Structure 1
Amino acid sequence: MPLASKLRRFKELDDILRGLKILVDGLYDSEVFPSSKEEAGRVSREFDAVIALALTGGIEEMLLGVGETGKPLIIIAHDQLNSLAASLEAASKLREIGSPSWIIGAWTPGARKEIESILEGIEAASRFAGLKIGLIGDISPWLVYSKPDPNSLKELFDIEVIKIDMDELYSKINSSKVYQDLKYRVLKNAKRVEISESDLEDALKVYQALKEIVKEYDLDALTVKCFDLIGDLKTTACLALSLLQDDGIVAGCEGDIPSLLSMILGKLVSNSPTFMANISEVGKDYLCLTHCTIALSMVNEYHLLTHFESGIGVGISGRILNGGRVTLLRFRPDLKKIRIIRGVLLEGSPSKALACRTQFRIKVKGDPRRVIEDPLGNHHVMVLGDLVDAIKSFCMLKGIEVEVL
């Protein structure tokens, strides 16, 4: 949506417009050129979000016309014709009335990436509402802090929690049959296998049973009280949760709902699986994550071992060999705050014998000791890539406090 004052007497305006349109090329569905506040507001109601190209000064009222509709507004300002001046004045008012808006300076390096990140956050916010998540069994008893009120999920995000008894899962496991092609899917790329064929089959029965539950209840995500499987069926859910993630179904451990929501958000902004893990070590500029399950598609290589704590079933030791940027996130259990940690995955993996099978060491840009000094719970979620801006945009739209390390 290009916006300019009625004067429009500058011959350079067409050149500026062409340059800004190149910046946002492919990011918008249609183009309109309103001439009044009322027209800007009326047109904006037809879209999920608006990118406004602030061509000149004197457009504050038109920007308010867009913002007052409640639609997310990205204002692209340039460094001439009082573009930024008008953008600052309008955005200040929009923030005052609680209307989500962002100003992007077209002259700044990375402006295109910043716009894309904001749009990813806007898309995630729209898809986050109305989800159905399955709580299979219950919240694990050691999660003494990570227990959100299910009513708050409905009130804040319109997310429905469906409780499913472990006996229903067990019944489906006992009636499952594992075919050779499913075993081949898991074994074909495994670098090392230290489990028996019967252990693999038992773990795959859990996967098939959970897939059946997802289909039956039309779930978008699930979390399972997985340690019950160890005592009751002498198997684990680690492999099942890994394969579900690769199938595009967000699947978490231990009945941890704040972590499951973090996984859902991570997947929405990255369009990729995420890694839910324990914090096992915090140093001056790094922290370590460990768990016995990870989506196979996230790693360069994986070993099929037993589950760490129990020594039975199937646990996954996954490795990402080439490092890279990552983002960690964690909802506070009241769901009103998210901590985001920007980091770099260090090459190679820790090899602690007395820790969960998949282990990563992450160099953190901020102070990782905040995790100890002001903890928000144990489990954190790792997403590949730097997705901080997208998550911050999501939080602005949802009214969630953000802390970035």
Structure 2
Amino acid sequence: MRVQPVLTYETPQRREATSWRNWGGIQTDEAARQEQARITGELNKLADRAEFPLEVRPVLLVKSVEQAANIAQGDHDVMLMYAAGGWLNILETLTRKDRFNLMFLRHLPGPAYLWYEIVHPRFLRKTVDEYGQPGMDVHDVVTDSYDEMLWKLRALHGLNSTLGKRVVCIGGAAGWGEGGRKAPRIARELWKLDLVDYPYKELEPRLAAAYQDSALVAACEQAAKAYLGRAGVKLETTRQFVTNAFVLREVFLDVMEQHQTDALTVNHCMGTIMGMSKTTACLTLSLLNDDGYLLFCESDFVVIPSGILLHYISGKPVFLNDPTTPHDGIVTLAHCTAPRRMDGRRLEKARILTHFESDYGAAPKVEMKLGQITTNLVPDFNCQKWVGFAGTIVGNPFLEICRSQIDVKVHGDGQKLLEEMKGFHWMLSYGDYLKECGYALRKLGVDLLNVSARAA
């Protein structure tokens, strides 16, 4: 993500017996150059801390509308304004509603910035009570804190990477239930997703050809043997199903390469794909997610945008899951596919079983880390008001449900979660990224009800 920092200021001239300068400690070119050097050092440190791709460009000095207009036409993703001075027209010129915009203000230890005083009444509200600045609101203003700056840039990186993402849809794009009928349209219009329909009539001969390729099948047999031979993996289904999952993996990789993407989802994964792949897609999706791809079952575009967003914000694989009924502060989450590399580095232990509903194929029961803090997103069918909560994994039960299953202790108001949950599928990642998700969703006009937020 490309960030263009600018320092806005002015160089007022003394006039006798009248006010001749605004608030602020940056009032000369020399002071601006010193502040420019300070900002450059601070941003270099911030970039070193960022665990996501971040290109911070050189800090530009701006004290005229003409300079601002030229810079605003650049190819940056984020305009980062250090609003030490300069008047309203400069800030308005820099702020484009088709880009992300952030403003940094200094309070302590100084030098004080002019817009620390008047960003709210003059820039954001235009000297009235109502907000009126396109492309920015009060949540885009940061005072003194580079920790806050970093998490907001992380959120913008996640959203920037999600918007326009191409997703191959095996068997077509869909959405769960009656409420999900409009999900593909919302995904295209709101999230700008490029949904590529890949019908089963094209997948079936591709799979058949793969099984006729003896060298490919032999390589997949060896890959399956190596996978099953690793520490922490226990086979409890037919070995051939695992080999076939690796064959399906190779086909999915070819399809994604053909369409120049790393994201794919499988519709009718609980039926249609089984016969032609001679296994289930469950383990295949798990393998590819562990390798950094974005693979989702069921082609449910009510929830898939949340998975793409959370993946890019967290930098980790995500777990699309079926929720149950929250009770006593606990909720069970389960699905027959889950990544093992949930923290982005270490592989969790896994039992390789059949897919539960069909008792066929290969599906991982991932033993997720007990005590792990998680982010949980609950999208609604209309993509207007999501619910989110932080949780702690407190159990890996083995119930008669989808194979990968965890009990999660809800942080905050579990009753509120029960009352407000909408849609169906949920999305989970390791780590707490609720504030990033909420900030990113605001950019799309989507509310996030965080039931883990502490009451004031």
Between the aligned partners of 1:22 and 1:338, the Cα distance in structure 2 is 39
Q: 1:34 deviation in Å?
A: 0.7
2:169 is the alignment partner of 1:135: yes
Structure 1 residue 123 corresponds to structure 2 residue 157: yes
Partner of 2:446: 400
- CA distance in 1 between counterparts of 2:226 and 2:289 reads 14
**Residues 11 and 77 of structure 1: is their aligned pair in 2 closer, same or farther, counting only changes over 3 Å?**
closer
Q: Decide whether the 8 Å contact of 2:324 with 2:332 is kept in 1.
A: yes
Q: 1:104 to 1:61 in 2, by over 3 A?
A: same
Q: 1:66 aligns with which of 86, 89, 94?
A: 94
Write the mapping of 1:153-302 to structure 2, written as runs, cut at 5 A: 153-176=187-210, 177-178=216-217, 179=219, 180-187=221-228, 188-224=230-266, 225-229=268-272, 232=275, 235-298=279-342, 299-302=347-350
Q: Is the 8 A contact 1:223 1:252 kept in 2?
A: yes
The answer to whether the 8 A contact 1:327-1:340 is kept is no
Q: Is the 8 A contact 1:45 1:69 kept in 2?
A: no
Q: Name the aligned partner's letter for residue 228 of structure 1.
A: G
- Cα deviation for residue 45 of structure 1 reads 2.6
Q: What's the counterpart of residue 180 of structure 2? A: 146
Q: Distance in 1 between matches of 2:172 and 2:98?
A: 38
Gaps of 5+ in 1: none
Mapped contact 1:41–1:68 kept (Cα < 8 A)? no
Greater CA drift, 148-157 or 159-168: 148-157
Matched to 2:373, the amino acid is R
Asked if residue 113 in structure 1 is aligned to residue 113 in structure 2, the reply is: no
Q: Aligned AA for 1:174?
A: A
| Greater length-normalized contact order (CA 8 Å, ≥ 6 residues apart) | 1
Q: 1:41 to 1:385 in 2, by over 3 A?
A: farther
SS of match in other structure, 1:256: coil
2:310 is equivalent to residue 305 of structure 1: no
Gap change, CA 1:296 and 1:86, over 3 Å in 2: same
| Aligned partners of 2:72 and 2:96 also within 8 Å | no
Deviations 1:45-94 (A, max 9, x none): 323212222335x6444322222464322111222455422232323459
Does the C-alpha gap of structure 1 residues 284 and 238 become closer, same or farther in structure 2, counting only changes over 3 Å?
A: same
* C-alpha deviation, 1:95, in angstroms: 4.9
* Equivalent-residue separation in structure 1 for 2:194 and 2:205 (angstroms): 24
Who is 1:319 aligned against? 367
User: For 2:83, which of 33, 54, 57 is the aligned residue?
Assistant: 54
Partners of 1:242 and 1:294 within 8 A in 2: yes
The AA in structure 1 aligned to 2:120 is L
Q: Give the greater-gyration-radius structure (CA).
A: 2
Aligned length: 398
Secondary structure at the counterpart of residue 345 of structure 1:
strand
What is the CA distance between 1:203 and its match in structure 2? 2.4
Which residue of structure 1 aligns with residue 51 of structure 2?
none
Unmatched 5+ residue regions in structure 2?
A: 1-5, 13-20, 48-55, 211-215, 452-456
Sequence identity (%): 20
Q: Which one of 108, 119, 124 corresponds to residue 91 of structure 1?
A: 124
Cα distance in 2 between the residues matched to 1:287 and 1:350:
12
Residues 21, 286 of structure 1: alpha-carbon distance in 2 compared, 3 angstrom cutoff: farther
The two structures, once aligned, show a CA RMSD in angstroms of 3.0
- State the secondary structure of the residue aligned to 1:389: helix
Instruction: Sort the Cα spacing of 1:239 and 1:55 in 2 relative to 1 into closer, same or farther, 3 A.
Output: same
**Structure 2 residue aligned with 1:350, among 372, 393, 396?**
396
Give distance in 1, aligned partners of 2:59 and 2:381: 42
Compare 288-297 and 142-151 and name the one that shifted more. Answer: 142-151
Name the CA shift for 1:82/1:287 in 2 (closer, same or farther; >3 Å). farther
Q: Which residue of 1 aligns with 2:53?
A: none
- The two structures have a TM-score, normalised by structure 1, of 0.86
